[in-house]
Amino acid sequence: MATRENELELEGSNAQDQYLLFLVGGILYGVEALKAQEIVEYSDVTKVPMMSSFVKGVTNIRGNIIPVIDLLDRFNLGKTEVGDKTSIVVVNNRQGEDMVSIGIIIDEVYEVDSISASNLKKAPEFGSKIKSKFILHMGKYEKEYIAILNTSTILNVDELSKLAR
């Protein structure tokens, strides 16, 4: 991906085999590309009081107020350090009958690429740095397995809305 602020374009193979790959905490992850609405350069986030630490606040993207989640913090692996390549991926997530857009902070975009269904395996119950409920599949990509994230679980609005304790 040459530009960081763009609509995702899915070319080539079946769009359902396409994954947005990105780095968080130096680890390569993926999400289903069809769930990623857009990628924007990181901008200031307005804090919202009394939210969990991984809910960084909200930001204005194209006139829409979008909640922003720090994935590294959500996984209990630390806090994301904002750098030159830090971006926000706006993910569409179905909550009941509504579609909700939520931003996730990533270190940098890697690329959009295909991972065929034959290269997807069930998420392990143990052995991962993050909770297995956050992993949809393990995808074989360039001879290594990467976690394909379960955005429905990670971005569950009911869980994200719980007040900090």
Q: How far apart are CA 36 and CA 92, in angstroms?
A: 6
Q: Is residue 16 part of a domain?
A: yes
Asked if the structure places residue 165 within a domain, the reply is no
Residue 79 lies in a domain: yes
Q: Which domain holds residue 49?
A: 6-160
Give how many domains the chain has, as a whole number: 1
Q: Is residue 1 part of a domain?
A: no
Percent of the chain having pLDDT more than 90?
64
The reply to whether 103 falls in a domain is yes
CATH of the domain at 83: 2.40.50.180
Bridge partners, 55 (sequence order):
69
In a domain, 71, yes or no: yes
User: Is residue 72 domain-resident?
Assistant: yes
Tokens, residue 95: 């909550």
pLDDT in tens, 84-117: 999 999 999 887 788 889 999 999 999 999 999 9
Burial of 23 (0-12, 13-18, 19+ CB in 10 A): middle
What is the reported pTM? 0.83
